[in-house]
């Protein structure tokens, strides 16, 4: 595997080493792609490789027609920010890969992942992949790769679970999930149960043709009349609240994770790899001894602290000021104080969210 040059801005990055055309094995299909079978994808461009490589691709369907999609691959070997250690990108090299393969073949993965899971649950500061490099032990490079593998595996699971939980919003507020896939790449000669550590999982998403919300003041696809911009920002703020109310708390809620459809100028949220789920948070927080436990209240308290709608509005306000010297006014945010009050004293017949 080659050492890749990752451009500093993450855009127009060099293609990942999957080959063109790429072969994808469809693990789960939500469209007319055949599940359990390989399909061919051709890359048109790479959007970004900040955490995961995300590409604009065409995929040939069983009937011979082609669909255009966004392919996001959870690949530990890439990712400018994913492989960062103390502000520097740590390149994936053949030596590092050899060390990782020895580690896997020596059956060190399972105990390492168990310990990582235990520490992630119990430690005050959960371990990050780069912490292992800092340890400088004999297996430190392999452990860095192993922790990155765990991170990418978690991102795939979280992203696919979020799309499942948000299936009612797909196609209108978030892209449609088309398929869960595996990019077919050479896997080293390891026993079958260890092959998973070299597999590359990914998702094929409906491709939203538009511009990132963060580019609103500069994109040629955005309305040229700045008076139209506040309503696009307001729709995005409202959508952030809608996601919170749907029980999916985005971990990385920012304008760059919002794509605005170039025709309708309606926002679509993307990137749920770091999301958290209400139900799972509540299970973890619940103390059966606490008789006054109000799960709804606890959830919305966290939503209010996180303030995802505010994260969208504040960043956009700063951008408009900086780029266009424009004051963003009149954006309406959720009133968390009254939401929390209502949870404690619900009015008759009134529903939240």
Instruction: Give the residues lining the site for Mg ion (CB under 5 A).
Output: 257, 271
At residue 199, the 3 state secondary structure works out as coil
Asked if 255 and 315 count as a contact pair (C-beta separation under 8 A), the reply is: yes
Residue placing its CB nearer to ligand ATP in the complex, 52 or 158: 52
For ligand ATP, the binding residue among 175, 255, 267, 309 (CB under 6 A) is: 175
Could you give the CA distance from residue 25 to residue 179 in angstroms, rounded to a whole number? Answer: 10
208 binds, among ligand ATP, Mg ion, none (CB under 5 to 8 A by kind): ligand ATP
Q: What are phi and psi of 11, to 5 degrees?
A: -100, 155
Q: How far is the CB of 9 from ligand ATP (least distance, A)?
A: 11
234 binds, among Mg ion, ligand ATP, none (CB under 5 to 8 A by kind): none
Asked if 161 and 177 count as a contact pair (C-beta separation under 8 A), the reply is: no
**Does position 256 bind ligand ATP by CB under 6 A?**
yes
- From residue 65 to residue 84, the character string flagging contacts with ligand ATP as x (rule: CB under 6 A) and all else as - is -----x-x------------
Could you give the CA distance from residue 51 to residue 48 in angstroms, rounded to a whole number? Answer: 8
Non-local (6+) Cβ contacts of 120 within 8 A are 126, 127
Residue sitting closest to Mg ion (CB): 271
Q: How far is the CB of 14 from ligand ATP (least distance, A)?
A: 15
161 binds, among Mg ion, ligand ATP, none (CB under 5 to 8 A by kind): none
Where on the phi/psi map is residue 71: left (φ > 0), alpha (ψ -120 to 50), or beta? Answer: beta
For ligand ATP, the binding residue among 29, 48, 160, 236 (CB under 6 A) is: 48
- Of 49-57, 132-140, 142-150, 234-242, the window that binds ligand ATP (rule: CB under 6 A) is 49-57
Could you give the CA distance from residue 288 to residue 139 in angstroms, rounded to a whole number? Answer: 42
Q: How far is the CB of 244 from ligand ATP (least distance, A)?
A: 19
262 binds, among ligand ATP, Mg ion, none (CB under 5 to 8 A by kind): none
- Buried b vs exposed e over 295-323: b needs ≥16 C-beta within 10 Å? ebebbbeebbebbbbbbbbebbbebbeee
Residues that bind ligand ATP (CB under 6 A): 47-48, 50-52, 54, 70, 72, 175, 205-208, 212, 252, 256-257, 259, 270-271, 273
């Amino acid at each position: 595997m080659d050492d890749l040059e990752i451009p500093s801005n993450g855009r127009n990055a060099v293609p990942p080493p999957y080959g063109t055309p790429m072969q994808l094995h469809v693990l789960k299909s939500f469209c007319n792609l055949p599940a359990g079978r390989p399909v061919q994808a051709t890359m048109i461009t790479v959007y970004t490789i900040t955490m995961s490589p995300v590409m604009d691709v065409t995929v040939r369907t069983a009937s011979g027609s082609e669909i255009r999609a966004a392919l996001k691959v959870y690949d530990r070997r890439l990712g400018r920010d994913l492989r960062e250690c103390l502000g520097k990108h740590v390149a994936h090299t053949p030596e590092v890969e050899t060390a990782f393969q020895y580690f896997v073949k020596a059956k060190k993965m399972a105990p390492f992942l168990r310990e990582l899971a235990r520490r992630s649950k119990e430690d005050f500061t959960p371990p990050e992949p780069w912490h292992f490099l800092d340890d400088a032990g004999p297996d430190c490079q392999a452990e860095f790769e192993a922790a990155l593998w765990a991170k990418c595996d978690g991102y795939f699971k979280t992203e696919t679970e979020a799309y499942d939980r948000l299936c009612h919003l797909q196609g209108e507020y978030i892209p449609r999930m088309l398929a869960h896939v595996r990019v077919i790449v050479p896997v080293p000669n390891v026993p079958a149960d260890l092959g998973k550590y070299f597999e590359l999982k990914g998702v094929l998403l409906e491709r939203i043709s538009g511009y990132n919300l963060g580019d609103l003041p500069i994109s040629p696809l955005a309305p040229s009349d700045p008076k139209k911009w506040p309503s696009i920002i307001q729709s995005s703020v409202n959508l952030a609240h809608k996601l919170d109310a749907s029980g999916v708390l985005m971990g990385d809620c920012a304008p760059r994770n919002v794509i605005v459809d170039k025709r309708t100028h309606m926002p679509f949220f993307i990137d749920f790899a770091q999301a958290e789920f209400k139900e799972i948070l509540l299970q973890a927080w619940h103390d059966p001894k606490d008789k006054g436990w109000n799960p709804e209240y606890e959830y919305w308290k966290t939503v209010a602290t996180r303030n995802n709608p505010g994260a969208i509005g504040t960043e956009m306000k700063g951008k408009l000021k900086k780029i266009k010297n424009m004051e963003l006014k009149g954006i309406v945010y959720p009133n968390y104080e009254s939401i929390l009050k209502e949870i404690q004293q619900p009015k008759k017949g009134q529903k939240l969210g």
